[in-house]
Structure 1
Amino acid sequence: MKNTNLFVDNTLPNATEIEKLEKVDRVIEIIVGKPNKQYAGMAGTEAKIQLNGKFATVDEVGSYVLSELAKMPEQLQKVAIVSLKVDKKVSMGIVNDIKEELRKVKALKINYTTFEGDAFNNLQQ
């Protein structure tokens, strides 16, 4: 994936049915997690969205995706995938809010980034 400094804790969940995305030129990345120690004082302790090296609100997700799509060649725009890198401790509420914003801008191809492994290990803290 893209080289981005993480502002949030991002321990990815495990999954058994995974597929590697080979063509990263068509991937738009959204990272979600609680701010790490360096940014917790500034951003608080609630889960935050990170878009291209900055914190963002749910309302900014749609415009971010549209701007990233506009940077891509037209043939890639049609096959673009939004990759959600969500910390395994984050509640699904923020994920559902992000997915709603993605629906509004017709970004319907979504991928969840995970590690390969037993999904039951996700229950362990």
Structure 2
Amino acid sequence: MAKFSKKRGKSSPAISTASLPDIIFMLLFFFMMVTVLRDSDLKLSVNTPEATQLTKLDEKSLVNYIYVGRPTQQYQAVYGTSPRIQLSDKISTVDDIPLFLEQHKVKLPEAKRSRITSSLRVDGDVTMGIVQDVKTKLRKSNQLKINYSAGKRTDELR
């Protein structure tokens, strides 16, 4: 009968760290590509009204945001204090809405274009005149899916 002996003195080889920088750079590149940064700088003060029954929008890429409110303190010297419309990153007029919608539509695949929603983020203190002008221009541009953004009401018994 043969005896089995333990081999002593042999140690396992060290783990190679030569590929570690490659892995780190691949992860860094992945997160740089996947992360979505804020695409617009808000120049208007918008305090949306509160609501109790809210629904989340499914695909954020299919939503274009139209902000309506008064300019913030730093922009009041340029734009005044009357309510304004902000499309993407710039203060605009109602006449700029069709071009804004078309630019958003061109970026999307043909199959998803019919599901585009315009989300109106309107300040609670703004009169309905400018909101009605925006809605009329959206209707003339054949953008019929409109969403009104609101904040969640904290007190249910108001």
TM-score normalised by the chain length of structure 1: 0.90
Q: What's 1:20 paired with?
A: 56
Q: What's 1:41 paired with?
A: 77
Q: What's 1:10 paired with?
A: 46
Gaps of 5+ in 2: 1-36
RMSD, aligned CA: 1.7
Q: Tell me by how many angstroms 1:67 deviates.
A: 1.7
Instruction: Give the letter for the 2:59 counterpart.
Output: K
CA contact (8 A) 1:14 1:119 kept: no
Instruction: Give the letter for the 1:102 counterpart.
Output: L
Aligned length: 120
Instruction: Give the letter for the 1:115 counterpart.
Output: G
**Which segments of structure 1 move beyond 3 Å, counting only runs of 4 or more?**
118-121
Evaluate the alpha carbon distance shift between residue 119 and residue 13 of structure 1 in structure 2; reply closer, same or farther with a 3 A threshold.
farther
CA contact (8 A) 1:13 1:119 kept: no
Q: What's 1:53 paired with?
A: 89
CA contact (8 A) 1:66 1:105 kept: no
For 2:136, which of 75, 92, 100 is the aligned residue? Answer: 100
- % identical aligned pairs: 38
**What is the rounded CA distance, in whole Å, between the counterparts of 2:126 and 2:68 in structure 1?**
8
CA contact (8 A) 1:15 1:119 kept: no
State the secondary structure of the residue aligned to 1:30.
strand
CA contact (8 A) 1:80 1:109 kept: yes
Q: Tell me by how many angstroms 1:78 deviates.
A: 0.7
**What is the rounded CA distance, in whole Å, between the counterparts of 2:98 and 2:150 in structure 1?**
23
Evaluate the alpha carbon distance shift between residue 43 and residue 73 of structure 1 in structure 2; reply closer, same or farther with a 3 A threshold.
same
Q: Tell me by how many angstroms 1:63 deviates.
A: 1.7
- Structure of greater Rg: 2
**What is the rounded CA distance, in whole Å, between the counterparts of 2:101 and 2:157 in structure 1?**
32
**Can you list the C-alpha shifts for 1:26-82, whole angstroms capped at 9, x where unaligned?**
001111100000100000000010111100001111221122111111111110000
Gaps of 5+ in 1: none
Q: What's 1:84 paired with?
A: 120
State the secondary structure of the residue aligned to 1:108.
coil
Higher RCO, 1 vs 2 (CA within 8 Å, ≥6 residues apart): 1
State the secondary structure of the residue aligned to 1:107.
coil
Q: What's 2:21 paired with?
A: none
